[in-house]
Amino acid sequence: MIEVSNYDYYDYDYAQYWKNRRYEDSAEKHILNNIFAKKNGDWFIDIGGSYGRLTETYYHSYSHPIILDYSLKTLQKNYSVIKKHFPSIELIAANAYHMPFKEDTFDGGLMVRVLHHISEPAVYYKELRRIMHNGSTYIQEFANKMNLKASLRAIINLNFKYFSSAPYQQPSAQNFEGTKKGEEAIFLSYKPEFIEKLLNSQNFKIINKFGCSYLRSTTLKKILGEDKMIKIEKVLQKILKTTNIPPSIIYESRLTSNHIQKNPKALTDILVCPKCNGKLDFKGNSAYCPICKLDFKKKSNVWDFRID
């Protein structure tokens, strides 16, 4: 069984994490706004979208956006606010390794601030390819193992093993986010070449690379202030986009395969059993898989398709 980060263990409020991070939030949204301004399509999936922080960046580019997250509590807690601002969006609780969608469904997809919780990215990308169709756009953000600060620290400490292709498990520092009490959180940073190789293995071709949060530092926030940092960030994103200096990297990729778009019209047209990918029998707020003998429920407006 693949371990999954579960923010529901402590009823973790991810929105609180972003209250004092306007610089980081603006840095990511600046890149995404520029990407999605040139996109349009039907079905879109925000994997690990939580309380909808990034919904404004893609919402007007796709007719049927979906936020998928493992935290049922987060989706339920934020349902009313999200639907108020983005009425056509759907919220679904599910495991990113076992997504409850038919193959060849999505025109676009996004994952930001989530891959560090994915312990088996190769398994995830295989599942991602299944639900995307030929020509689909996929945006991947990840914690950059080779960022300037981490690389200099490894050199100073003569830790040359750090520069291997293996993902780096960051020290927990008593951070048990998404885990049961006392367990170490999954928090991995990746070499850009490692992620590129995995994407390519599933026929996702990288067409753009962006660096993000170049100035991420509490000290700089005190010295410069976030307004000035945001202005500098936009300049750095232009002139240093191809480097591995920043702590965060975003890839824009396109799927090239023989998967053909199916143009489903309603949510029930794309939902399948997350375990076997078989057809579901819908009745009101329930969905039943006759193959796996599993029942799935819509709880407080949010479908719960989570399986391990």
Q: What is the pLDDT of residue 258?
A: 77
pLDDT tens across 201-260, in order? 999 999 999 999 999 999 999 999 999 999 999 999 999 999 999 999 999 999 998 777
Expressed in angstroms, the distance from the first to the final Cα of the chain is: 7
Residue given tokens 């209250």 in the structure block: 19
Report how far residue 279's alpha carbon sits from residue 218's, in angstroms, rounded to the nearest whole number.
50
pLDDT tens across 33-65, in order? 999 999 999 999 999 999 999 999 999 999 999
Whole-angstrom CA distances from 240 to 157, 175, 211, 219 are: 26, 31, 7, 22
E-assigned strands of the chain?
A: 41-47, 62-69, 90-93, 106-111, 132-143, 168-169, 188-189, 204-212, 248-255, 281-283, 286-289, 294-299, 302-304
This prediction has a pTM of: 0.94
Residue given tokens 């936009």 in the structure block: 234
pLDDT tens across 162-188, in order? 999 999 998 865 555 555 555 667 899
pLDDT tens across 75-122, in order? 999 999 999 999 999 999 999 999 999 999 999 999 999 999 999 999
- pLDDT over 80 (residue 159): yes
Report how far residue 44's alpha carbon sits from residue 52's, in angstroms, rounded to the nearest whole number.
13
- Report the mean per-residue pLDDT for the chain: 93
